[in-house]
Amino acid sequence: MSKPSVDKHLFVIFGGTGNLSLTKLLPALYNLLVKKNLKDVCQVLGVATKDIGDEGFREKAREALITAGFSKDEVDLWCDSCVHYQSLGKSPENYSPLAARIKSLEEDHNIKGNRVFYLALPPPSFPTVIKRIGESGLNKSSGWVRIVVEKPFGVDLSSARELNSLLHSYFDESQIYRIDHYLGKETVQNLLIFRFANTIFESLWSRDRIESVQITVAESIGIEGRASYYDRAGALRDIVQNHLAQLVTLIAMEPPAVFEADNIRSEKVKVLHSMPWIRPEYVVFGQYEKGTINNKEVSSYKEEPGTASDSSTETYVALRLEIDNWRWQGVPFYIRTGKRLPLRMTQIVINFRHPPICMFKPYSSCQIQSNRLLITLQPDEGFHLFFDVKEPEESLRLKTESLHFNYKEAFGPLPGAYQTLILDILEGDQTLFVRADEVEASWQLFTPLLEKDIPVHFYEAGTWGPKEADEFIARKGGIWLNQEVQM
């Protein structure tokens, strides 16, 4: 395997002492540097308000990396030589000491101005930090400068536009990496290869052959101590506007003229612009009540610490999307997400159309199942194609079987999403990152739902959501296809 083309750089993590930095970013970055033989090209600078110094941050980094399963001796060597810390102190608005430290590290390690600024921060902090990076001149150097912004990117269309405008005041769009870790999953990336490198599927990928599409992002966990964020956000902002919208665009997009970042992202934006206004009757909101998951009793959403006792925040969303273009006109896209569902999974189900007639009536009851393609993104990444065969008996009896491909069986453990995305950032590849117009097009679609008074239905934790969601999809003769039904 050839060594990736990564320039020597400084990787600056704002919020360096936080959970995202310690449990996700540092392990992913270290694993990437070890596997790709890149440890000599990266210096890491953690930035936060705590006054812990280099050694204090190195100790936190060591603990995080050892907990992640890395060798203590190698971790010690890397932390001592490549990990640094800068406190913003009691006057975090003053970035002069940070600018001086960055210049010093670049000189000491012969880094020619190449910088990554990763905002591992709560979203309300984004505008302030972006503005101070720009005002202090850290966005300008003799090398390349890239800024990484975690989702959620805004809370509605207006705030997303404001954040884009602020970023563009100091950074060119080519420098901005809006990160959605779902797009770093190998199976998500392989959707493009699966569709456009295999004509057997692409030739079937239209309204003539596909009856409906279902996409599910299910979580068995609750809000896990995130009430201060989640009670203001809800499932529509937290999952639907970003993760689910991204998956829909990848499934529905047209072939790009050239397989490169801007062409791919332009096709995704076209899908969002082809979606008409979502009618309220095509939307179901839910909120979990107490129930049982994995034989363990769990509390209701309103009983979660920090949640308002009268909260009407949705923890479940099911909705129907339509795409008004030549390929997809009339094909419903059913998407759903929820917390405290029976299991953790992300899957896409492509339901193909039934045969127009059944020719087996003299021999069987003609219970022909639609062919289905199941794409599993987590936890067991792979593809299953379901089709009918004859059982080996004298009478003609049909049975549904599947062909399958499993990533772990074929390639072993897959790299984490953050590892994949960090490598793309270092190489300057924006294919898996969200462009400004894509963010705004997505918010333009979903913001009207935030302004509607959509009722919230309750569902028992450990079930697949409120009964209203089942009734909603049944209007067109459909049912939700859960993982245990498929496998």
* Catalytic residue set: 243
d(CA 336, CA 279): 16
Angle, vertex CA 137, rays to CA 136 and CA 143, nearest 5: 145
CB 371 within 8 A of CB 352: yes
**Residue 290, burial from CB neighbour count under 10 angstroms (0-12, 13-18, 19+):** middle
CB 160 within 8 A of CB 153: yes
d(CA 424, CA 260): 13
Quote the tokens at residue 379.
Answer: 């936890």
**Residue 244, burial from CB neighbour count under 10 angstroms (0-12, 13-18, 19+):** buried
CB 213 within 8 A of CB 333: yes
Within a 10 A sphere around the Cβ of 458, how many other Cβ atoms? 16
Write the single-letter amino acid at 374: L
CB 345 within 8 A of CB 380: no
What is the maximum span of the chain, computed from C-alpha positions, in angstroms?
Answer: 84
d(CA 487, CA 481): 11
351 DSSP β-pair partners:
212, 372
Q: For residue 53, is it left (φ>0), alpha (ψ between -120 and 50) or beta? A: left
Q: For residue 354, is it left (φ>0), alpha (ψ between -120 and 50) or beta? A: beta
Burial 395-406 (b: 16+ CB within 10 A, else e): eeebeeeeeeee
How far is C-alpha 240 from the geometric centre of its chain's CA atoms? 10
Bond into 152 cis (ω within 30) = yes
Within a 10 A sphere around the Cβ of 152, how many other Cβ atoms? 20
Within a 10 A sphere around the Cβ of 387, how many other Cβ atoms? 14
